[in-house]
Amino acid sequence: MTQDEIISKLPYSKPFLFVDEITSISEDGVVGNYTFDEKLDFYKGHFIDNPVTPGVILTEVMAQIGVVCLGIYLLNNEINKNTLIALTSSNIEYLRPVFPKEKVVVISEKIYFRFGKLKCKVKMINDSGIEVCNGTIAGMIYEK
């Protein structure tokens, strides 16, 4: 399965699609990136005159790249319209702010994938190579 095929199977669309590119993927993990468009709606009200990306959005970026893309890859052709994907847990530590127009890279390492649950160790770094957040995220992938 190619990186473009994985992205096309994501159950999201703009403005809630937070995956620009997958740069590497294997059974053990995934690396991908996303650049925050300064016109995204949440910047209008998240700190007046000094917009910062909300932590919940950073978590979503890490979940989409680090768990959902990897889950689609691991399941390969088993993903279809009846496949449901749900976040089951996250434990994220936020270390630095992420600003509009910033590109981030998500690096995810599989901890385990069993009984339809995928748990990963994830981290996000900015273009300067500085870690902005890290933690664990788990999700369930199952058929309706």
109 catalytically annotated: no
| Its pTM surpasses 0.85 | yes
Name the 3-class secondary structure at 90: strand
CATH of domain 3-143: 3.10.129.10
Alpha carbons 135 and 108: distance in angstroms, whole number? 10
Per-residue pLDDT tens digits of the chain, which is 144 residues long: 899 999 998 989 999 999 999 999 999 999 999 999 999 999 988 888 899 999 999 999 999 999 999 999 998 867 666 777 888 999 999 999 999 999 999 999 999 999 889 999 999 999 999 999 999 999 997 767
Per residue in 14-51, pLDDT (tens digit) is 999 999 999 999 999 999 999 999 999 999 888 888 99
Alpha carbons 14 and 53: distance in angstroms, whole number? 16
Residues 6+ apart with CB under 8 A from 105: 23, 31, 32, 33, 124, 125, 126
- Domain ranges across the chain: 3-143
- Out of 3, 40, 46, 90, pick the active-site residue: 46
